[in-house]
Amino acid sequence: MTAGTGTEPGAGSETETGGDLLALRCDAVADLADAALRDALEYFDPDLVYVVREASDVRIVSRLRRAFDGPVVFAGGPADVRTETVADVTVAFASAASLLEEPPEPAARADYVVCDDLEPTTDAVALEATLEGRREIARYQRRTGGSTTFLSGALPASYDHVWDATVDGDRVRLPVRGVAPLRRSGAVELARLTCDRGGGVAVSSAPADRFGLQALDGVGPTTADRLRTHGYETRAAVADAAETDLREIAGIGAATARELLHSARALAESRVVRRTDEPVPPTAETATPLFVDIETDGLRPTIIWLIGVYDPERDAYVDFVDADPSRDEPGAATREFVSWLAAEYERPSLIAWNGYGFDYEHLDRFVVRYAPEYREYWRDRVQTYDPYDWAVRRDNAVLPGRTNRLETVAAALGCARSGPAAALDGRSLAKRIRRLLEDSSVGSADDAGAVEPTGTAGAAESDADAGIDWDAARRYCEADVRELAAVFDAIAAAEPEPNEDDGAEEATNGSTADSTTQTGLADF
């Protein structure tokens, strides 16, 4: 167990973030108008654009090449290996796995190899999973010394798996990540991967239908067309409109017009727009606000392995990290955290983003189970608050992000993270912790010169094998709580928006029928 204190704001930010790769399926962006497509490219600001093989359309590829001032690599192009280097990160794009048998320079020393041939298959009879292309990438990995991460457009960006093989008697580790858009219940989400030289990959995403005018709450294709017909081509134009003018458009009544204005002003002006004058909790003068974030092994955690806390009054960050996680001792970090909290603060006020949907539920469960002597202190003296719940669920404010995820809102407010923290995301960290906890066995192969599997996910991985950089993980958690503090301050400082006509009722033409849905728990 390690407790860290006193880190400086932004420590580690001088480290190069890495290269940004935006992978697209043609059918995911086919319905975007040119302005919306440019908006998507500006929003993600990638170094490279990769068009995956599945559902490819050369017309969309041509549009992308005209809209993007940078390399656009098309998986369905000629059979070759193409190499691009950005931010000191070398990415090789192989149109077929077989081309990796004898790759040209500098593809032979790439930090990342992108190949859509890499795709898991399952034998329904033997109940065994295999990876198409594993033989080729295993030989490539053996030749290059085992430091390459493999990316596939045949897999969604949420895919993160470590495969094994043995080449000439040596075990090689094969980290495979997906790059394709994420499948959601609504529109698919375009995904940008930030890839650093150490193999760290962070995924950020946004729904494909949240660009252009459709980025505004309540605006779908029909309303977007109506807005353009009335001369509102951009979000800034909507933000500058008068509510009465918007209400003259068919399908837009008083409530919808206010919703459009609030959303447009939040996005176009990169600020929080208050809908109400409800005070932002905590409001007690004696409250000691502490911004907190927990890292677990998933949405149904069996372990809390990192807890980070930022005290703005002291401008101090402290964390509690279990660098030797075990299912036998899943509450080690929780015990250290609550012991420290009780010693330092009489009546602390914890603030967590989506805390009511995740953090507080599991912290309470872990305190009760693994630190029962602090149960009374925890439940009687510790107050909990959730600015996401106050702003979004209670409809008190409109946030400036394309989604309501903390990192998206923070970036829109000018608090984009950098350094090691930018090449990590919570989902990837959770999967790496699970790999450490699983501690499965590694098989072996006796065939000299052959490439043999030694398990589908690798086994008994060391920290290095699991790809866990504990210092970077702590920086990631610190970035979260500092961003949370900045977002909270922006929410608290925002002034309520005046209504042009407080007594106006919804016009008889009704509200729009093509509204977008709110971000849910699965997006955190």
Query: Measured between alpha carbons, how far is residue 159 from residues 193, 423, 479 in Å?
Result: 12, 16, 24
Question: HEC profile for 448-506?
Answer: CCCEEECCCCCCCCCHHHHCCCHHHHHHHHHHHHHHHHHHHHHHHHCCECCCCCCCCCC
* Dihedral class, residue 45 (left if φ above 0, else alpha if ψ from -120 to 50, else beta): left
Are 417 and 425 contacting, i.e. CB atoms less than 8 angstroms apart? no
- Check pLDDT > 60 for residue 6: no
Q: Is 344 helix (H, G, I), strand (E, B) or coil?
A: helix
Lowest mean pLDDT among 75-84, 249-258, 436-445, 463-472: 436-445
Are 67 and 34 contacting, i.e. CB atoms less than 8 angstroms apart? yes
State the pLDDT at residue 1: 64
Q: What is the Cα–Cα distance from 345 to 311, expressed in whole angstroms?
A: 11
Q: What is the Cα–Cα distance from 45 to 27, expressed in whole angstroms?
A: 20
State the pLDDT at residue 186: 74
**Over the stretch 349-369, which tens digit does the pLDDT of each residue have?**
999 999 999 999 999 999 999
State the pLDDT at residue 18: 83
Q: Is 294 helix (H, G, I), strand (E, B) or coil?
A: strand
Q: What is the Cα–Cα distance from 215 to 209, expressed in whole angstroms?
A: 7
State the pLDDT at residue 110: 93
pLDDT (average), residues 87-97: 94
State the pLDDT at residue 3: 64
Lowest mean pLDDT among 44-53, 75-84, 393-402: 75-84
**Over the stretch 312-325, which tens digit does the pLDDT of each residue have?**
999 999 999 999 99
**Is the peptide bond between 496 and the residue preceding it cis, with omega within 30 degrees of 0?**
no
State the pLDDT at residue 68: 97
- Check pLDDT > 90 for residue 406: yes
**Over the stretch 36-48, which tens digit does the pLDDT of each residue have?**
999 999 999 999 9
State the pLDDT at residue 518: 35
State the pLDDT at residue 522: 37
Q: What percent of the chain has pLDDT over 90?
A: 69
State the pLDDT at residue 286: 65
State the pLDDT at residue 73: 96
Confidence of residue 463 (pLDDT cuts 50, 70, 90): very low
**Over the stretch 134-151, which tens digit does the pLDDT of each residue have?**
999 999 999 888 789 999
State the pLDDT at residue 466: 54
Check residues 520 and 433 and name the one with the higher pLDDT. 433
- Check pLDDT > 90 for residue 61: yes
- Check pLDDT > 60 for residue 452: no
Lowest mean pLDDT among 256-270, 342-356, 509-523: 509-523
pLDDT (average), residues 241-270: 94
Q: What is the Cα–Cα distance from 254 to 252, expressed in whole angstroms?
A: 7
* Dihedral class, residue 10 (left if φ above 0, else alpha if ψ from -120 to 50, else beta): left
From the CB of residue 502, how many other CB atoms can be counted at a distance below 10 Å? Answer: 7
State the pLDDT at residue 454: 41
Q: What is the Cα–Cα distance from 336 to 352, expressed in whole angstroms?
A: 19
- Check pLDDT > 50 for residue 204: yes
Confidence of residue 384 (pLDDT cuts 50, 70, 90): very high
Average pLDDT of the chain to the nearest whole number: 86
